[in-house]
Amino acid sequence: MSRSESLAEYLRAQGRWRLDRVEREDGGRNARSALALLDAAAYADTLADDDPLVEGLAMAGCFGPAGFDDFDPGPRGLALIRSWEAGEPWQLLLAVRNTLLGSLA
């Protein structure tokens, strides 16, 4: 599986997780987040593994030490992804990278 495929699969799983969430009076937050994550997954499917966004996530350690493991943004990246409700898909990927690289500084 390529990096972009692994990334897309991860984002789809998080989108489905959001769809399954039931919270009283969430004001549509779960639906917005699910749509944004599924949109980001579709976008990730179009990226090549040498795309700067994918390479940035690899540089931030999201693909393991070998660089080709399954996508795993760790706890900080997961928290950001699960809270994402709006924005362009590339903005989410950039935010994950920046969050993780900022935590290394």
Q: Per-10-residue mean pLDDT for the chain, 105 residues long?
A: 94 94 84 95 96 95 78 95 94 96 67
pLDDT on residue 6:
95
What is this structure's pTM? 0.90
Structural domain range at position 59: 3-104
Closest CA to 75 of 67, 87, 83: 83
With both helix axes pointing from N to C terminus, report the angle between 89-104 and 29-45 in degrees, rounded to the nearest 10.
90
pLDDT on residue 27:
86
Overall residue count recorded for the chain in this entry: 105
Q: Which amino acid is at 49?
A: D
**What are 22's two structure tokens?**
């039931």
What total number of domains does the chain contain?
A: 1
